[in-house]
């Protein structure tokens, strides 16, 4: 379990927890693509006419996508709203639906419905990471006694400095769900293609690179070539919620979280390296992660805004099974861009990290997105805990450095 080294946040949000042993038949409705993005969060970044409607708790509907769909249709019919405006329903991590083509008057009617907890716009998210320069061949390494180094193993595998710092072990037979831009086929990765899904339309395969990089840090094989991951040889499930440009909507992200909550097994982990670059609290996303952690524990990136996590969703959460991770450098110092705060549970390597990339290549990039999968791999090996070795302080907060042992 977590060692809490923080003051509890004073922010209060609504949480709806659902429990059931029954799982409904998996239903996947692709979220439509072609969403424009902007650089600021606010009304101009909400997709016009699109809303996420979240119901009050109904334990009898937990995991029953058909039941939630029927309830959603009944809700719209009460207000003479076309049922075909429903584009996605949620039944596990959260209960509700994504709807398009609503007028302001219709939104107000839905908000006043006695069964509805809240209604919120469908906002856009976009990756906040410099994408580096992909290569086909990994570089020669240089030893520096003052830092943790990249190196080559006798087996022929490239050992990124982050894996060297936190440790590694055999992850064969274990599964991590990557909620990201997808995961591209790669000789270094074991991908469960049967359970991989896209919630931005098209294939589950990564067309951006970010999700593939995350996956390699978690689980790249110990196979005598390429890089090696923390839980090397583990199985990866691609849950694609971001398009080729690294953009996605809350509606698609919630669908991906809901899918993991419906299908993950005890002992699986997830990684979520997505977030807003500007301050925003989002009840639906927060509540979805609260409920996801009832199924599986996992790690999320703290964010790259050099700000306190209390202003961001879902990074503000202080919960038992969702680990928020800051980005540290090779000298065990906090990265300048990394967010910090009472909700940051651990620090991990996230600066100049080599990992797998699209088209069978490799890339070196930086951010809390790169730190988080180190801890997702550790959780996969250890259960809901990490080892620690030292600590990192930033913004008046201190948290341990995560390790395998």
Distances (CA, A) of 308 to 190, 280, 338: 36, 12, 9
Rounded to two decimals, the pTM is 0.89
Q: Evaluate whether residue 8 is within a structural domain.
A: no
Q: Evaluate whether residue 216 is within a structural domain.
A: yes
Q: Evaluate whether residue 373 is within a structural domain.
A: yes
Instruction: List per-residue pLDDT tens for the chain, 405 residues long.
Output: 564 333 223 323 323 222 223 333 344 444 433 333 333 344 448 999 999 999 998 999 999 999 999 999 999 999 999 999 999 999 999 999 999 999 999 999 999 999 999 999 999 988 877 788 888 888 876 566 556 889 999 999 999 999 999 999 999 999 999 999 999 999 999 999 999 999 999 999 999 999 999 999 999 999 999 999 999 999 999 999 999 999 999 999 999 999 999 999 999 999 999 988 889 999 999 999 999 999 999 999 999 999 999 999 999 999 999 999 999 999 999 999 999 999 999 999 999 999 999 999 999 999 999 999 999 999 999 999 999 999 999 999 999 999 999
Q: Which residues are catalytic?
A: 180, 210, 369
CATH number (domain holding residue 67): 3.30.70.80
The DSSP-derived string for 116-166 is: EEEEEEEEEEE--------BSSPPP----TTS---EE-TTS-EE-HHHHHH
State the pairing for strand pair 158-159/151-152.
antiparallel
As for how many domains the chain has, the answer is 2
Same domain, 209 and 296: yes
State the pairing for strand pair 387-394/397-403.
antiparallel
Q: Evaluate whether residue 5 is within a structural domain.
A: no
CATH number (domain holding residue 368): 3.40.50.200
CB 79 within 8 Å of CB 105: no
Tokens at residue 386, please?
């990490």
Q: Which domain holds residue 242?
A: 151-403
């Amino acid at each position: 379990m977590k060692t809490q080294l923080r003051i509890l946040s004073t922010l209060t949000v609504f949480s709806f927890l659902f429990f059931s042993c029954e799982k409904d038949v998996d239903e996947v409705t692709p979220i439509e693509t072609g969403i424009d993005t902007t650089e600021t969060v606010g009304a101009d970044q909400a997709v016009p006419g699109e809303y996420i409607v979240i119901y009050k708790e109904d334990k009898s509907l937990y995991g029953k996508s058909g039941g939630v769909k029927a309830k959603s249709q009944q809700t719209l019919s009460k207000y003479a709203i076309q049922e075909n405006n429903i584009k996605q329903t949620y039944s596990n991590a959260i209960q509700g639906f994504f709807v398009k083509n609503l007028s302001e008057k219709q939104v107000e009617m839905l908000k006043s419905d006695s069964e509805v907890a809240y209604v919120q716009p469908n906002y856009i998210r976009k990756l906040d990471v410099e994408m580096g320069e992909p290569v086909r061949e990994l570089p020669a390494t240089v030893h520096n006694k003052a830092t943790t180094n990249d190196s080559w193993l006798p087996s022929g595998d490239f050992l990124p400095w982050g894996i060297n710092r936190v440790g590694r072990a055999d992850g064969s037979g274990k599964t991590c769900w990557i909620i990201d831009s997808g995961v591209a086929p790669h000789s270094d990765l074991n991908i469960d293609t049967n359970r991989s899904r896209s919630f931005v339309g098209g294939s589950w395969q990564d067309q951006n690179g970010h999700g593939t990089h995350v996956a390699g840090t978690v689980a790249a094989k110990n196979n005598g070539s390429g890089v090696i991951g923390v839980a090397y040889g583990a199985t990866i499930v691609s849950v694609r919620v971001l398009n080729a440009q690294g953009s996605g909507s809350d509606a698609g992200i919630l669908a991906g979280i809901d899918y993991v909550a419906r299908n993950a097994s005890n002992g699986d982990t997830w990684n979520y390296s997505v977030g807003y670059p500007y301050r925003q609290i989002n009840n639906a996303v927060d509540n979805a992660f609260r409920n996801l952690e009832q199924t599986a524990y996992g790690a999320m990136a703290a964010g790259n805004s050099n700000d306190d996590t209390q202003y961001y969703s879902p990074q503000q959460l202080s919960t038992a099974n969702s680990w928020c991770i800051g980005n540290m450098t090779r000298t065990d110092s906090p990265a300048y861009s990394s967010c910090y705060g009472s909700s940051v549970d651990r620090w991990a390597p996230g600066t100049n990290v080599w990992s797998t990339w699209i088209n069978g290549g490799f890339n070196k990039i930086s951010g809390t997105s790169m730190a988080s999968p180190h801890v997702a791999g550790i959780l996969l090996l250890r259960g809901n805990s990490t080892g620690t070795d030292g600590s990192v302080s930033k913004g008046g907060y201190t948290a341990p450095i995560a390790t395998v042992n």
